[in-house]
Amino acid sequence: MPELPEVETVCLGLRARVRGFTVDRVTARRPGLRFPFPADLAERIAGARITAVRRRAKYGIIVLADAPAVLFHLGMSGRIVLEPPPYPPPGPHDHLALELVSASGAQLRLTFRDPRRFGLVDLLPGGADAAHPRLRELGPEPLDITGPELRAVLRGRAAPIKAALLDQRVVAGVGNIYACEALFRARISPRRRAGTVGPRRAEALAAGLRSVLADAIRAGGSTLRDHAQIGGEAGWFQRELLVYGRAGEACIACARPIRQFRQGGRSTFHCPACQR
């Protein structure tokens, strides 16, 4: 599933290309993805101008003037594709299309492509995150979180620290790949109880989260399977992963083998010698 860097990469690409365009036409080729599209989706956004594109956790938000924002989640295999005319025929997994036009007459088609249909598209009235049930309980953003802020949200939690990082109510947007990588950068065991992370470790972990996510965004995210940037390019941060997917390989810090184990139903990768 795309994590924060992949969604941020998509939002950055959209922001650079579609801001100022107007939604000219909306075409839904099925009633929905993981959840139904709003019944009046086309009527509520047609004719509205795109003023911004932003991200909250793993959700993208296309902000429209005088209309509800478009909230999207890429799910397991979703992509957003931007194409200039002449538009090719829609593919079997192209489920929703927004045809856009600029003040100068330039045209683009924005397509939600999702083979597995685990994504979602919804409306966010007034652009108010707190008003939407999928956004209102999300925790702080990890890109700018501080050590004291992180320690405050971890305090009293008995769950392992990696499980806490994956809880979107604790920290918003961190997924399995980047939790493993941030914990390695901070030299913290994924098994450590979240509530035992003291000030020094919280500072190191906050710095690890900020740095690994920023590095991944600069690299266009990680393409392990489906992720692609707006122009179709793969991300390449997977080439820089230090522990994730490297079970049995030598740790770059101590040369001992990276270990893999199951934690909360997901694979965890760590160096048992370096991470305490």
CA-derived radius of gyration, the chain: 20
CATH of the domain at 114: 3.20.190.10
What pTM does this model have?
Answer: 0.93
Set 2, 5, 68, 160: catalytic member: 2
Residue % of the chain over a pLDDT of 70: 95
- What is the number of domains present in the chain? 2
Give yes or no: 58 in active site: yes
Compute the C-alpha angle 234/250/193, nearest 5°: 85
219 and 100 in a single domain? The answer is no
Give yes or no: 276 in active site: no
Q: Give per-residue burial for 116-135: e unless 16+ CB within 10 Å, then b.
A: ebebbbbbbeebebeebebb
For 85-131, what is each residue's pLDDT tens digit?
Answer: 999 999 999 999 999 999 999 999 999 999 999 999 999 988 678 88
Answer whether residue 137 is part of any domain: no
Residue partners of 114: CB distance under 8 A and separation at least 6: 33, 74, 75, 77, 78, 79, 93, 95
Give yes or no: 266 in active site: yes
Give yes or no: 187 in active site: no
Set 15, 58, 192, 201: catalytic member: 58
150 and 120 in a single domain? The answer is no
Q: Are 138 and 168 in contact (CB under 8 A)?
A: yes
Domain boundary among 66, 98, 131: 131
DSSP H helices, 38-160, are: 41-45, 147-154
- pLDDT band for 220, please (50, 70, 90 cuts): confident
Domain boundary among 131, 161, 179: 131
